[in-house]
Amino acid sequence: MKASSRWLSLAVAGAAALTALALSACVGGQRQKVTLMLDWVPNTNHTGIYVALDKGWYREQGIDLEIIQPAESGVEQVVGSGQAHFGISFAEWLTSARAQGVPIVSIAAIIQHNSSGFASPAEKGLTRPRDFEGKRYGGSGLDIERAMLQALMACDGADAGKIEFVDTGYADFFVVTQRDVDFAWIYYGWTGIEAQVRGLPINVVWLRDYLECVPDYYTPVIISGEQLIAEKPGLVRRFMAATARGYDFAIQQPDEAATILGKYAEADPELIRRSQAWLSTRYREDGPPRWGYQEADVWARFIKWMADNGLVAEGVDPNKAFTNDFLP
């Protein structure tokens, strides 16, 4: 579920794990310990990272990579404070964090286009935004959720004020839509594919079908901190060389990539296989120059939309929110 990629209460394996992340220097040719904090449990958004880890490509770059689960305080805060070198985030969270002075930067877009949408069991008949009137939405009560729904509903001549918002936290989509609510926000590449595997038909109102009202944005992204980028650009470049190689492999050989991810992800192997097949064509959808590439116009439009909808104050510079400089 889209929202569940955010604040899962999976505490980091303890303060000791974060302490071990410290920016240790690479001495005498030894590999440098580097930490990446996930946004959620391992899934196909992360496949390229696990492929590169499994095949030893980080080690080839002099990196001893440790992958850790998300902190309750948020990946953005951990990476921005230098307690982790890299992390997985989203354009909306990165923008909000930068608006609050958190010095983080997107260094790669994992997927080229927004693959999220508002989903519901097919029998509920919710096929367009106006169908949400009078229905119950299950989410976490975040401002971004209301803003997205307001924009979509207005786009279809409907009133988001007629939605009943139910705080379900980050509960399982399949449980809450059968028991508590009518629809929720998901990433199709995981939850949508899981619905296929379960044989449960769903309808999805895709955000990318309403770009005149909600601009496209990069979700998820790989982030790092401004200080690390300034002080150790070589490390960032080496990390991205291995990471990009992993995602290129996942694009070209999705079945083998799925098998590799299955060593690390506690999920149904069939879900992993189908999800990987679906995502493999979307990592570089529409032919960007290389995997991870980000366009300034995409960032500028989305940041302006967030400001226009009162989600952030004016003044977030889109050109400082991302960089392509470390893509191989």
In this predicted structure, the answer to whether residue 49 has a pLDDT above a threshold of 50 is yes
Mean pLDDT of 68-90: 94
Q: What is the pLDDT at residue 27?
A: 39
The per-residue pLDDT of the chain, averaged, comes to: 91
Do 81 and 48 lie in one domain? The reply is: yes
- Convert the pLDDT of each residue in 302-320 to its tens digit: 999 999 999 998 889 999 9
**Comparison of pLDDT for 15 and 274, the residue scoring more:** 274
Do 104 and 230 lie in one domain? The reply is: yes
298 and 288 Cβ atoms separated by less than 8 Å: no
Do 122 and 106 lie in one domain? The reply is: no
Do 311 and 224 lie in one domain? The reply is: yes
Burial class of residue 263, CB neighbours in 10 A (0-12, 13-18, 19+): exposed
Q: For residue 29, name the pLDDT band (cuts at 50, 70, 90).
A: low
110 and 292 Cβ atoms separated by less than 8 Å: yes
Do 230 and 96 lie in one domain? The reply is: yes
- Convert the pLDDT of each residue in 207-216 to its tens digit: 999 999 999 9
In this predicted structure, the answer to whether residue 166 has a pLDDT above a threshold of 50 is yes
Dihedrals φ, ψ of 51, to 5°? -60, -50
Return the structure tokens found at 150.
């307001």
Return the structure tokens found at 126.
């919710």
Q: Provide the β-strand partners of residue 205.
A: 118
Do 202 and 266 lie in one domain? The reply is: no
**Cβ atoms < 10 Å from Cβ of 146:** 17
Q: What is the pLDDT at residue 307?
A: 96
In a domain, 273, yes or no: yes
152 and 129 Cβ atoms separated by less than 8 Å: yes
In a domain, 90, yes or no: yes
57 and 242 Cβ atoms separated by less than 8 Å: yes
In a domain, 327, yes or no: no
In this predicted structure, the answer to whether residue 26 has a pLDDT above a threshold of 90 is no
Q: What is the pLDDT at residue 13?
A: 34
Q: What is the pLDDT at residue 170?
A: 80
In this predicted structure, the answer to whether residue 10 has a pLDDT above a threshold of 70 is no
Q: For residue 28, name the pLDDT band (cuts at 50, 70, 90).
A: very low
Give the domain extent around 205: 116-210
Mean pLDDT of 42-49: 97
Return the structure tokens found at 256.
């083998």
End-to-end alpha-carbon separation of the chain, Å? Answer: 31
Domain boundary among 189, 210, 231: 210
Q: What is the pLDDT at residue 7?
A: 33
Domain boundary among 157, 178, 210: 210
pTM of the model as a whole: 0.90
237 half-sphere exposure, CB direction, 13 A CA radius: 7
Q: What is the pLDDT at residue 46?
A: 98
Share of the chain above pLDDT 70, in %: 91
Question: Strand 86-89 to strand 63-68: parallel, antiparallel, or no bridges (unpaired)?
Answer: unpaired
Q: For residue 72, name the pLDDT band (cuts at 50, 70, 90).
A: confident
Mean pLDDT of 86-106: 97
- Convert the pLDDT of each residue in 224-261 to its tens digit: 999 999 999 999 999 999 999 999 999 999 999 999 99
Domain boundary among 210, 242, 275: 210
Q: For residue 92, name the pLDDT band (cuts at 50, 70, 90).
A: very high
In this predicted structure, the answer to whether residue 165 has a pLDDT above a threshold of 90 is yes
Do 240 and 270 lie in one domain? The reply is: yes
Q: What is the pLDDT at residue 152?
A: 95
Give which of 68, 13, 80 is closest to 36, Cα–Cα. Answer: 68
Do 141 and 188 lie in one domain? The reply is: yes
Do 136 and 182 lie in one domain? The reply is: yes
In a domain, 63, yes or no: yes
In a domain, 316, yes or no: yes
In a domain, 275, yes or no: yes
Number of domains in the chain: 2
Q: What is the pLDDT at residue 169?
A: 85
In a domain, 326, yes or no: no
Q: How far is CA 285 from the centre of its chain?
A: 16
Do 164 and 225 lie in one domain? The reply is: no
Buried b (16+ CB within 10 A) or exposed e, 296-315: eebbbbbbebbbebebbeee
Do 90 and 58 lie in one domain? The reply is: yes
In this predicted structure, the answer to whether residue 33 has a pLDDT above a threshold of 80 is yes
Return the structure tokens found at 206.
């895709």
Do 235 and 88 lie in one domain? The reply is: yes
- Convert the pLDDT of each residue in 101-138 to its tens digit: 999 999 999 999 999 999 999 999 999 999 999 999 99
Return the structure tokens found at 178.
């059968």
Mean pLDDT of 163-179: 93
Conformation bin of residue 74: beta by default, left when phi > 0, alpha when psi is -120 to 50: left
Q: Provide the β-strand partners of residue 86.
A: 36, 224
Max Cα-Cα span within the chain: 65
* Measured torsion, CA atoms of residues 275, 291, 39, 115, in degrees rounded to the nearest 10: -50
Q: Which amino acid is at 72?
A: E
Q: Provide the β-strand partners of residue 292.
A: 109
Distance CA 120, CA 174 (A): 9
234 and 325 Cβ atoms separated by less than 8 Å: no
In a domain, 328, yes or no: no
Q: What is the pLDDT at residue 1?
A: 39
Distance CA 22, CA 179 (A): 44
* CATH code of the domain covering residue 241: 3.40.190.10
Dihedrals φ, ψ of 186, to 5°? -130, 160
Return the structure tokens found at 264.
């690390």
Give me the DSSP letters along 7-35: ------S-HHHHHTTS-----TTPPEEEE
